Amino acid sequence: MFAHTPEPPYYAVIFTSQRTAGDEGYAETADRMVELAAQQPGFLGVESVRGADGLGITVSYWSSEEAIAAWKVHAEHSMARDQGRSRWYAGFEVRVAKVERAYGMRR
């Protein structure tokens, strides 16, 4: 699903991750985190894909750095992040970026 973001500038958090084997409660928590993120101030949208090899890219969009910082320390999100580090991910990379321009096409 495409995120319906406003005109730039806004922020993107690019989260690239490699899942470990087995679900271990991952899917339920991942769904919950999307639901919870969508309720946070400054949330603009999210796009998320995981391939058959377990590599995934999730990009969430935010109105400001402050909104990103507040979500990072959200209590339930922090607990999920701890589980991500200890159980669900073999590795991940987070990149915080300022979207400067955007364009697209829909049929």
Binding site for a copy of itself (CB under 8 A): 1-3, 5, 8, 12, 14, 16, 18, 47-52, 55-57, 59, 85, 89-107
3-state secondary structure of 74: coil
**Taking a C-beta distance cutoff of 8 angstroms, is the pair 42, 62 a contact?**
yes
Report the nearest approach of a copy of itself to the CB of residue 35 (Å): 19
Report the nearest approach of a copy of itself to the CB of residue 94 (Å): 6
Q: Which residues contact 24 (CB under 8 A, 6 or more apart)?
A: 87, 88
Report the nearest approach of a copy of itself to the CB of residue 95 (Å): 4
